[in-house]
Structure 1
Amino acid sequence: MASVLVLGATGAIGFEVALEFLRNGYTVYGLTRSEDKAKELFKNEIIPVIGAVSDFDKWIPIAEKVKVVIEAVADFENLATAQSIADKLKVVKAKNTGLAIIFTSGALVYGSSDSVINETTPYNPMKNPLVEAKVQLENHYRQIGGIVIQPVFVFGKKGSASSIYFGLVAKNTDGNFQLYGEEGQWRSFVHLTDLANLYYLAASKHASVSGEVFIGVSYYHKTVEVVRAIAKEAKKEVKSITFVSPVENPLSQILSVSSASSHQKASTLLGWFPTQPSIIETPTRYYNSWVNNNSQ
């Protein structure tokens, strides 16, 4: 039976990816730091590997025998962590030559654009160490035949990155909304389950797409339309939506980016077609899910 190791298996993306491989008949190992989260993995038929990602002796022996390794670690405090994982996986790949490695980057490497972004668009990352590090890591993984997935803003269930907009609406009391960026801003989104399917398809066809980059995107909308759709569902009045310049913190810089992205490459090479409706199309579904997930 085919097997996969997911590094970051209890994160928003990692957990959905683990479930997608499970649904497709894989034995799934998931790295997690805590005993409590290990119980959640057990409940979902995922074999937990308990330890920090820096506990290489815990997960490298597994990486050396599985068919696929997914790097979905989100360590925003120690940039050296991601590089150390990459270095170790290079060594593992030399031993396990048939191994498919998928690295989770992000579409923020393209920065803002006035036209629709695809994988041939030149990178224009913001001056942000988190984003700049992704570019270097992408090069590393591509050199060893890894596959790079670049998710845009993720939505569904707890909301992941899109939770910023649900939270913004939920906390608003006066109907006046401020967003970082400029008028006419675009935001690209991908549903968690669609994104997880992209990882699975990439792993399934890794022999023909090694070293490739795929943007994980389902839709793009004007940001104001997203806020209005969520506000309508939350029964919040929208008096005004204004845009302001980002302040000196990484999150505001990320939220100021304007981009509309295409999934044409993933559709052509992998046969990937997003199936989940957009936030604007079914706001009730996503708002109710977000509220209940975040009230626990």
Structure 2
Amino acid sequence: MVRILILGATGYIGLTTALALRRHSHIVYGLARTPSKAALLASNEILPILGTLDDSAYLLAISTHNIDVVIDAAGANNGSFKIFEDVKRVGQERLAKRGKGSPKLGFVYTSGTWVHGSSDARMNDLDPVDREDAAAPPPGLVSWRPKLEKAILEARDVLDVVVIRPGCLYGRGSFIWGGWFGLLQGAVEGRRESVEVECDADATLSLVHVDEVAGALTVAAEKVSALGGTSVYPVFDVVSSRESARLILEGVARAMGFEGVVKFAKPKDPFAVAMSTNARLDSTRIRDLLGWESKRVFGMLDEIELVTAAWKASNSKA
């Protein structure tokens, strides 16, 4: 049993991870901004901490509840630097109070494989990112992330750390696909003959279902202390399939009943550029070192009707 605090516990990755951790009998705390969000967590056997990332409630909770591991699934973008620095400070205070050789506070950061940038080269999580010898630069949307990853890795004298890099997420609400899916839905409702999507149609996306990411974060939280003090590079790519962006979006269009033509334009919007990241990645290291392995029998395209229906249900105005 591990005591775990999740930042972003009511979010897309956070809630799925909290439920996975409870299935493994861990004690799970979650940060909630509002009483209604706190009630959602409590109803799922997750102990709510009422507060925000801008106040000290969650930092006090780390000490008050003797938290073993903090999982940052908040998706706070550049605000993630402050979260990390605050958690690091709490970790320093814990070591100072308990003495050298005592257990460190664990910190698991949810990054993403977009840091690899777009490349036709086969890559893994040991490859450098955002350096001269990197295969490609990360897209602008996440250009700050390699610096944060580096800072986290350099804090191993204070914290036990793991960085989990999910591939392009899908499943359940498939929320990050909303820009593209919404355009296709609008074309159906408008009975248009064609629709143009900002997407690199030739990109092959490294994908992972949100349930699989929850599994990876679970094993990371369970094993972060075991990696502390070792020479293991604690950064892991998490992907379960590699699939064509063109085929996925054309499949979604068909599943929505769109009978027109899907056209593709060079992405200019920063988010569309990041979503079009073409990368040849795998998850052999997290399999070999942490024991995580994808349990998905089918990929996104194989279940495109289910994925589309789940997105529509999640975005229903009813």
TM-score (norm 1): 0.89
Aligned match of 1:169: 184
Does the aligned pair in 1 maintain the 2:206–2:280 contact within 8 Å? yes
Structure 1 residue aligned with 2:288, among 268, 271, 288? 268
Structure 2 CA distance for aligned equivalents of residues 69 and 137 of structure 1? 16
Structure 2 residue aligned with 1:286, among 307, 310, 314? 307
Does the aligned pair in 2 maintain the 1:187–1:222 contact within 8 Å? yes
- Runs of at least 5 residues in structure 1 that lack an aligned partner in the other structure: none
Runs (4 or more) in structure 1 with deviation over 4 Å come to none
Aligned match of 2:275: 255
Structure 1 residues 113 and 27: alpha-carbon distance in aligned structure 2, compared to 1, 3 A threshold: same
Aligned match of 2:207: 189
Aligned match of 1:109: 115
Structure 1 residues 271 and 165: alpha-carbon distance in aligned structure 2, compared to 1, 3 A threshold: farther
Structure 1 residues 183 and 27: alpha-carbon distance in aligned structure 2, compared to 1, 3 A threshold: closer
1:149 aligns with 2:164: yes
1:82 aligns with 2:102: no
Structure 1 residue aligned with 2:137, among 116, 119, 125? 125
TM-superposed deviation, 1:100: 1.9
Q: For 1:135, what is the secondary structure of its paired residue?
A: helix
Q: For 1:101, what is the secondary structure of its paired residue?
A: strand
Does the aligned pair in 1 maintain the 2:139–2:274 contact within 8 Å? no
Map Cα deviations across residues 185-214 of structure 1 (whole Å, 9 max, x no partner).
111211111100001111222234345111
Q: For 1:147, what is the secondary structure of its paired residue?
A: strand
Structure 2 residue aligned with 1:232, among 251, 254, 258? 254
TM-superposed deviation, 1:223: 0.3
Structure 2 CA distance for aligned equivalents of residues 66 and 127 of structure 1? 35
TM-superposed deviation, 1:245: 4.1
Structure 2 residue aligned with 1:159, among 166, 171, 174? 174
Q: For 2:202, what is the secondary structure of its paired residue?
A: coil
Alignment map for 1:200-219 (pairs within 5 Å): 200-210=218-228, 211-219=233-241
Structure 1 residues 137 and 5: alpha-carbon distance in aligned structure 2, compared to 1, 3 A threshold: same
Q: For 2:302, what is the secondary structure of its paired residue?
A: coil
Map Cα deviations across residues 78-116 of structure 1 (whole Å, 9 max, x no partner).
x2x321111111122231543221011111111101123
Deviates more, 1:203-212 or 1:15-24: 203-212
Structure 1 CA distance for aligned equivalents of residues 260 and 227 of structure 2? 46
Deviates more, 1:254-263 or 1:81-90: 254-263
Structure 2 CA distance for aligned equivalents of residues 231 and 179 of structure 1? 11
Aligned match of 2:70: 69
Does the aligned pair in 2 maintain the 1:108–1:125 contact within 8 Å? no
Letter in 2 for 1:71: D
Structure 1 residues 90 and 48: alpha-carbon distance in aligned structure 2, compared to 1, 3 A threshold: same
Structure 2 residue aligned with 1:91, among 76, 89, 92? 89
Aligned match of 1:140: 151
Structure 1 residues 240 and 162: alpha-carbon distance in aligned structure 2, compared to 1, 3 A threshold: closer
Aligned match of 2:133: none
TM-superposed deviation, 1:8: 0.9
Structure 1 residues 272 and 164: alpha-carbon distance in aligned structure 2, compared to 1, 3 A threshold: farther
Structure 2 CA distance for aligned equivalents of residues 160 and 135 of structure 1? 24
Larger gyration radius, structure 1 or structure 2 = 2
CA RMSD of aligned residues (A): 2.0
Q: For 2:252, what is the secondary structure of its paired residue?
A: helix
Q: For 1:282, what is the secondary structure of its paired residue?
A: helix
Structure 2 CA distance for aligned equivalents of residues 43 and 125 of structure 1? 43
TM-superposed deviation, 1:137: 1.1
Q: Percent identity?
A: 27
Structure 1 residues 8 and 217: alpha-carbon distance in aligned structure 2, compared to 1, 3 A threshold: same
Structure 1 residues 268 and 281: alpha-carbon distance in aligned structure 2, compared to 1, 3 A threshold: same
TM-score (norm 2): 0.84
TM-superposed deviation, 1:44: 1.0
Structure 1 residues 254 and 273: alpha-carbon distance in aligned structure 2, compared to 1, 3 A threshold: same
Aligned match of 2:132: none
Does the aligned pair in 2 maintain the 1:119–1:215 contact within 8 Å? yes
